[in-house]
Amino acid sequence: MLEKELRKELDYVNKTISRHEMYSHAGAVIGFDLETVCPEKGLADQSALNDFLADKDYRLLNGKKFVSAYEDLYAHLGELGELDKVLISALHRQHSETKNIPPELQKKFNEAFSKSYMDWLNAKKKSDFSLFRDSLEKVREINLKQIELNSERLPVPYDNLLNRYERGMTTADLDAVFSRCKERLIPLLKKIVASKKNIRKDFLSVRVKNEEQREMTDYLLDVIGFDKTRGSWALTEHPFTNGLYKDDARITTHFYPNMFYSSMFSVIHEGGHALFEQNQPRENYVHHIQTEMTMGMHESVSRFYENRIGRSKEFIHLIYPKTLEIFPELNGVSEKQLYEGMNIVTPSLIRTEADEFTYTFHIIIRYEIEKELVNNRLPVDRVKELWNAKYKEYLGIEPDNDRDGVLQDIHWASGFGYFPTYALGNMYNAMYFNTMKKALPVAELVEKGDFKTIDGWMKDHVFLKANRLDAKSWIRDITGRDFTPDDFLDYLEEKYTELYELD
């Protein structure tokens, strides 16, 4: 194809994508409103508005002229620049998933997902899985139909869903990784539970005021380098981050009066997501590839700040004086006690409140269930039973209500394949943390609060190519090594053997 023709088609694609981003931006604002400040009786109308925008956007992205333009460009991929290749490859990949889905059918999918979200909210509120059961069945049907209509579908059904969130990873990869996790972590968990180490935890349930938690939220965001001129925060039921656009990264948290540390680590976690959005290269927006990083990449950063930094001895040392100042209710708690309390291992039911060590089991449980739902058509009526059985098997506990059990997460209201990215994120950041330590005195930097240097290294090494490579290529580019869970497992074994004074 002549260079002039290529440029003309590329210009058209870029203009169309710019319009798509306006729909997407508007939808993201509405979505943020839905989960933060929208009144209960306004939820249905707001959801309908989002469905309307999603339908317009779907029709735009599936217009014949637009599709023809980027498919022509895909046929001449080798003639494009590096970042244009990323965009056109992404469009081709997405088109293979959607080109056999007519707008009318996609509209029905969107409406079903909106209903599923509403049903999940109602079911969780009433702690009754039966109120969500039919919607979960519908979500599964939609995912299977989407896989069936994918023109380049992979032979293992679940791989098609995982590929949406974590390009380059497969069910076979996850089976091997999680098998390794169970092999090394289950015996260690038994030792920890049997340990006679006495960790003070009475202060973890002290009641604090919302005003104090607001002050702590602002303080922690300042510490890690969150740019408040390009971001904000709000309260919600289920904390999340939304990178609306290049200068608008919004995070959320939830305050529990008798669990002050929950919001602290939620803020650091979501703040990590926001740092990713605020520090990715500006040229990504010019070339419309700012959303091409995988979810595992994103989760690696949020959990890097939350756990590898936030739960470290050095970070606790840094924030200890301010923590006692903001929460006078903690008077009498030593720095050592605060560190140990922030890292106590307690098998528990709620994923988002899980300690760093047991968190991986929460992900394994969800992965094993959703893999069964997709690959082996597990009857939806068995999901609750299997959920409870796996919590008993891996963590030795069992929920006595649906709200704290199978209904605790929002994710299944919109499909499957996301959960593994949380665990993969831990594994990625363990690898690049070890690489970072070779270049920087990380512990010293954290202890004195020098996040400018830490964030700078992340920007130059972790954020730079995240939108341009698949997961395995990206972690190899950062570390020079192939992906492995062993750095993460080594870290857990070393940290918690020392903390619990194990042999």
* Side chain identity, residue 120: W
State the Cα–Cα distance between residues 351 and 416, nearest whole angstrom.
17
Using DSSP, state whether 233 is helix, strand or coil: strand
State the Cα–Cα distance between residues 274 and 260, nearest whole angstrom.
22
Query: Of how many residues is the chain composed?
Result: 503
State the Cα–Cα distance between residues 432 and 440, nearest whole angstrom.
12
Q: Which two tokens stand for residue 51?
A: 């469905």
- From the candidates 9, 97, 166, 270, give the one annotated as an active-site residue: 270
| Backbone Cα Rg of the chain | 23
Widest pairwise Cα distance in the chain: 74
Q: Which two tokens stand for residue 386?
A: 């299997």
3-state secondary structure 92-123: HHHHHHHCCCCHHHHHHHHHHHHHHHHHHHHH
Which residue from 432, 503, 24 is spatially nearest to 245, judged by alpha carbons? Answer: 24
- 3 belongs to the catalytic site: no
State the Cα–Cα distance between residues 96 and 99, nearest whole angstrom.
6
Q: Which two tokens stand for residue 82?
A: 């590096």
Whether the CB-CB separation of 465 and 289 falls below 8 Å is answered with no
Q: Which two tokens stand for residue 91?
A: 């469009």
- Residue 22 CB: number of other CB atoms within 10 A? 13
248-253 and 241-245 strand pairing: antiparallel
Using DSSP, state whether 291 is helix, strand or coil: coil
Whether the CB-CB separation of 28 and 246 falls below 8 Å is answered with no
Cross-strand bridge partners of residue 233: 251
State the Cα–Cα distance between residues 121 and 156, nearest whole angstrom.
31
Between the alpha carbon of residue 427 and those of residues 9, 485, 492, the distances in Å are 40, 5, 11
DSSP 368-417: HHHHHHHHS---GGGHHHHHHHHHHHHHS---SSSTTTTTS-SGGGS-SS
State the Cα–Cα distance between residues 127 and 405, nearest whole angstrom.
9
Residue with token string 């889905």: 101
Strand spans (E) along 188-335: 231-235, 241-245, 248-253
- Residues annotated as part of the active site: 270
